[in-house]
Chain A
């Protein structure tokens, strides 16, 4: 998990509230992505970015928004939180000579 930080670690929201999950990297890699992890579902790709100014949708993008203004940061926005978005969210950074994806420590989100 070296070089990938996520904040906050825990968050509780009420239905309809908005918030931004932060992801930052100091590895200077181009590709970043967001996954959500739900029990018995594995990890599912929400959005990804292949570089500053370029984003695209993954498998489960509805209800989430992203932007990539810098190489270092890739925030994930929930515009109007719903209980179905209760999950653990992981940011990942791909790069290096082995093209490995490195995961952050995660953000545990509960929507009441």
Chain B
């Protein structure tokens, strides 16, 4: 069984500040891990994904995440927040080995960016 816990349903940062969104996972097999972003009234867009290659993954819009097996974590960071980063972010896990048919999502973290 797989599960994802996103710590903090709401994170608020100032423009220019570091963004840190936390994700911990549980998986009985080596996982694939994903971060998706959802802007208001839109679908989900893939930010980045970890598929057992490099543990530090770079995504779109300046975001990156580091896979830490010992901590079962996959936290999302961005050095400097922009107003346009305000959105809801979802961490998701699936089985590795090309069988990522089923994504298990966390409950989401709403990011607010203050001017």
Q: Is B44 an interface residue (CB 8 A)?
A: yes
Total number of A residues with any Cβ neighbor in B under 8 Å: 25
Interface centre among B34, B43, B45, B46 (most CB of A within 10 A): B43
Contact of A33 with B42 in the complex, beta carbons under 8 Å: no
CA distance A31 to B43 in the complex (A): 18
Whether B101 pairs with A33 at a CB distance below 8 angstroms is yes
Number of interface residues of B (CB under 8 A): 23
A106/B101 contact (C-beta < 8 A), A41-B107, A42-B90 known: no
Q: How far is the CB of B25 from chain A (nearest CB, A)?
A: 13
Which residues of A sit under 8 angstroms from B43, Cβ to Cβ?
Answer: 1, 90, 103-106
Closest Cβ of chain B: how far from A49's Cβ, in Å?
A: 9
Interface string of A86-108 (1 = CB under 8 A from B): 00001010100011111111100
User: Could you tell me the distance between the alpha carbons of A99 and B97 in the complex, rounded to whole angstroms?
Assistant: 11
Check: B57 CB closer than 8 A to any chain A CB. Answer: no
**B residues 1-39 touching A (CB-CB < 8 Å):** 4, 9, 34, 36
Q: Does B115 contact A (CB under 8 A)?
A: no
Closest residue of chain A to B94 (Cβ to Cβ) is A101
Q: Which residue of chain A is the closest to B105 with respect to CB atoms?
A: A42
A2-51 at interface with B (beta carbon < 8 Å)? 31, 33, 35, 40-45, 48, 50
A105-B45 Cα distance, complex, nearest whole Å: 10
Our pick among A35, A42, A48, A92 for the contact of B108 (Cβ within 8 Å) is A42
Q: Judge whether B42 and A100 touch: CB under 8 Å.
A: no
